[in-house]
Structure 1
C-alpha cells in the first residue's frame, strides 16, 4: 500500500507534458497562440509496432533513443481472477516458480545474466496478468529475449522447486498479511465483501490450506493451461532497432508450440442493489480502520473516465473533498487514501473493478458517524454539477499522473500499458487515445456517473476492529 501511495504522489508531482514519436518528452506549442503561450496538443503519441506471430505470441515494440537501454516484459494472461476454486494463491505461487529459471538458466543463472549485464529485473501477479520484466543495456537485448523464451518454453517445474517456492509464498502470507496489522484489509478483504463472483471475491494471496494441497500435477496442469505462447505478450521498449529486435523474437519465440484454447471464464459482476457491511476483528490493529468501495463503470467507457475525475475530486491530494472534510474539518483520522485498482493503476486491469477509499481513524468515531459525513460530501456530487474549473483541474492532475506513468525512468510504466492493452484489447495503440477519453468528460457526465455509481446501494463498507483475542472472522450484515 505504501509503495502505491508513494508512486501515486510522485506521479502527481510531475508537470504535464507531451511526447513525440521517438519517445522524447516535449512541450507542445500552439502555433496560433497570439500571446506566445504554450498549450497542450493531443498529446502523447507513442510510436508503436505491433505484430502477432504464427504461434499466437503478440509482439509490441516502441523505439526511444533517449537512454541506451532496453526494457523487456513478458505478460501472461493469467492473474488472480483465473484461479480455480480450491487453488487460491495459485497465480502468485506460479509467479515464484517461473522466476526460478529454466532448463538452460537454472537457479540464479538468469538473475546473474541480468545483473552482470548491469540490468535489473522483477515480476508480479495482478488481477488479470502475471508479468516478468528486465531493464538492461541495449547490447544485452538479444540475450534477454532468449532467456525469456527459454523460461516460457522450458521452466523448471519439479517437486524441489514447488516445495521451495511454496515455502516462500507461505512466508509472504505471514509477513504481509497474517502478522501485519490490518493485513490485506483494503485489497483482499474489501473486494471479498463487495464482489459476488468467486473469481473476484476470493483470497488472492492464497489460503494456506490451498497452497499446501497443491501437487506437482496441479502445477504442471496450471502451466500447460495458462502459460502458453498464445496467451502471452512480449513488449520491448527502448533504444532498439525494430527489424533486428523482431528477428530475435521470431528466432527465439517463434518455434514454441501454441497451447490449447483457454477454458471459458465468467468474471462478470451483477449490479449491486443493496449496501453491504462487514467487520474484521484484528488483534494486531492499534486503531480501528474503515474502508468502503463502489463498483466501477466498464473500463474505457465514458463513465470510466468520469469516474477517474470523481476519484481526483474526492480522494487524491490534500485538497480533495474527502480529505478536507474527514481529516481537516472533522479530524476523524490523520489521512485518507484510495483510488481505482489499488493493485495497479486505472489502466492495467480487465474486468470488474472497485473504486476504494480507506482510513485508519481515532477510536472515538464509529462507522455510522464517519459514513454520514462521507454521504454529505458524495451527495453534493450526486445532486449538483461540478464547475468547469473543478473539471479542468482534475483532468490536469490525471494527465500529470498519466504522463508520470509513461515517462518512468525504467520505461516500465510505458511497457506496462503497451503490454496490458495488447493483452486485453489486442490494441497497444490505445495508449495514444487515453487523453481523448478525458477530453470527452463534461460536468453533465460527471453528475450522471456519480448518480449511478456513487449511490449507497452500490457501496460496501468494511470496518477493522481492534480486539484482544485471536478472532479474525469477517462478519456480514
Structure 2
C-alpha cells in the first residue's frame, strides 16, 4: 500500500509518545500570608475540576452539507476531513467491494485536477493525505500547514462537484483493487482473519455479512454507468460532513467553506436499507482452511448492544477489563499463566473504534496459538473470564482502572495525528447523530457505568448463544 493513502481502513492513528497529554486537571487556589502580616483566618482550599472540552462549532449549508469547526492552535497545522455517508455496509448487491473501489476512483481526477494531481497538490504543499472505506462511511482527509487550508477546501470541493469518471480510470482501478485483494487477503497467511471473515460468519443480514473487500467477479462486473450513478447518488453535500480541526480563524474558514461548497447541488438520497441484525439464538462455530498459515488461530465475536445505550458503554469497559492491555483478564490467563499464545488482540469495531460506526457491530477477540493447544482450551478460558463477570461481578476499583484505560485511549485519539483523531469523531457524530458535540459527553457516559450494569450487560450479551467462534486450520501447501 502507498503511504499517501490506504484503500481500506487498516491503518490506525499513531500513539503519541508519552501517552496522554490532556487529562482532567485540578486547580487549587490558596491564601498565602506574607511575612509582614499576621496570618489571616485560614480559608478553605478551593478545588475546581477542570474538564477538557473540545471546541465545537457546528452548522449546515443550505445544500445540506454538515460543517464542524474545532480550533486548536497547538501547532500551525490544519486537518480537513470529508466524510460521505456511504460505506461498504450498504453498497449495491452483486457489487461487493464497490464502495471500496469507488474510494480509489476519487483519486483519479476531477474538474480542475488531473489524474493523481490531488495527491501531488497536497504533498507539494507540505502535507499528507489518506482515505478509507469503513462500515458506514468513506472518508478523505488532508493534513497541511495552517496557511494552506484554502487549498485543501478548494480541492475537496472540486472533486465533490465532479469526478473524472472514464472507462480508462475504472479499468485501471479495478485492476489495482483486485491486486490489493490478492496481496492482502488471498495470498496472505491469515488473510482477512478475522476483520474480513468474522462479519460474514457472525451476521445474517446481507448488508452486514457480505465480503466488503469485494469478490473478484463483482469487481469485474462494475460498469461505468454503475460508477456514475454511485457518484451522483452518494457523493453529494447533503450526504456528507466536513470537519476542520487546527489553527485557523473560524470566520475565515466559514467564508472558505461557503465559497467552495455552497454552490454544489444536493442529491435526492435513496431510502436507507434495513441493516438491522436478527437476534442470534444459537452459538455458531466455523473452521477456515488456510494453506498459508503455519499455526492455528481462533477468533470469537459477540453481537454488541445498540449504539449509545447504557449497555453499549458498559461493553466499552468490559472490553478494557477482559481484552485491552497486559493487565486484561484474557491476556493474563492466555499469555502469562497458560502460555497458549504470545498476544491477544481485539476490540469493538476492528475497522475503526467503538465510536465511528452506525449499525450492528461485533465485539471480537483473536489470537494465533500453538498447535498443541486445543481450540476448546482457549474457549474454556474465555468462558471462565465471562463467568466471573456474571457471577462475581466487578468492584468499583476495577471499573476505575477500566475508566483510566478507556479515557487514555480516547484522549490519545483526540490529540493524535495532528488532530485527525478529533476530526474523525466530529465528522462521525455529525453524520450519524447530527450532534458532533457528543464528543464532549463520552467520558461522562462511561462514568455512569456501575458494577451492577457491568453484570447485567455480561449476562445479556456475553452468552454463548450470542457468540460466533471461528478457527483457522493450517494446511500443508499443496504440491504441484
- TM-score (normalised: structure 2): 0.92
Match of 2:82 among 61, 65, 74: 74
The residue that corresponds to 1:370 in the other structure is: 378
Shift in alpha-carbon separation, 1:6–1:139, aligned structure 2, 3 A: closer
Report SS of the residue matched to 1:87.
Answer: coil
The residue that corresponds to 2:454 in the other structure is: 446
Residues 407-443 of structure 1: CA distance to partner in whole angstroms, max 9, x if unpaired? 1142100000000000000000000100111110111
Q: How does 1:64-143 map to 2 (within 5 A)?
A: 64-143=72-151
Residues 206-237 of structure 1: CA distance to partner in whole angstroms, max 9, x if unpaired? 10010011111111111111111110011111
**Aligned Cα root-mean-square deviation (Å):** 2.2
Report SS of the residue matched to 2:196.
Answer: helix
Q: Distance in 1 between matches of 2:11 and 2:215?
A: 29
Work out whether residues 341 and 369 of structure 2, in 8 Å CA contact, stay in contact via their aligned partners in 1. yes
How far off is 1:40 after superposition?
A: 5.5
Q: Does 1:14 align with 2:19?
A: yes
Work out whether residues 12 and 404 of structure 1, in 8 Å CA contact, stay in contact via their aligned partners in 2. no
Q: Does 1:392 align with 2:397?
A: no
Report SS of the residue matched to 2:219.
Answer: helix
How far off is 1:262 after superposition?
A: 2.4
Work out whether residues 289 and 463 of structure 1, in 8 Å CA contact, stay in contact via their aligned partners in 2. yes
The residue that corresponds to 2:472 in the other structure is: 464
Structure 2 runs not aligned, ≥5 long: 1-7, 31-42
How far off is 1:30 after superposition?
A: 5.8
Q: Distance in 1 between matches of 2:322 and 2:269?
A: 42
Residues 343-400 of structure 1: CA distance to partner in whole angstroms, max 9, x if unpaired? 0011111111100000000111222222122111111111122011111000011101
Work out whether residues 11 and 401 of structure 1, in 8 Å CA contact, stay in contact via their aligned partners in 2. no
Q: How does 1:127-276 map to 2 (within 5 A)?
A: 127-276=135-284
Report SS of the residue matched to 1:310.
Answer: helix
Work out whether residues 11 and 400 of structure 1, in 8 Å CA contact, stay in contact via their aligned partners in 2. no
Structure 1 runs not aligned, ≥5 long: 19-25, 471-477
- TM-score (normalised: structure 1): 0.92
Q: How does 1:10-49 map to 2 (within 5 A)?
A: 10=15, 14-15=19-20, 17-18=22-23, 27-29=25-27, 41=50, 43-49=51-57
Shift in alpha-carbon separation, 1:336–1:343, aligned structure 2, 3 A: same
Match of 1:333 among 335, 338, 341: 341
- Greater Cα radius of gyration, structure 1 or 2: 2
Q: Distance in 2 between matches of 1:328 and 1:301?
A: 34
Match of 1:430 among 432, 438, 443: 438
Work out whether residues 27 and 38 of structure 1, in 8 Å CA contact, stay in contact via their aligned partners in 2. no
Residues 2-52 of structure 1: CA distance to partner in whole angstroms, max 9, x if unpaired? x9999589379623734xxxxxxx7343669x99898864x3311111111
**More deviation, 170-179/98-107:** 98-107
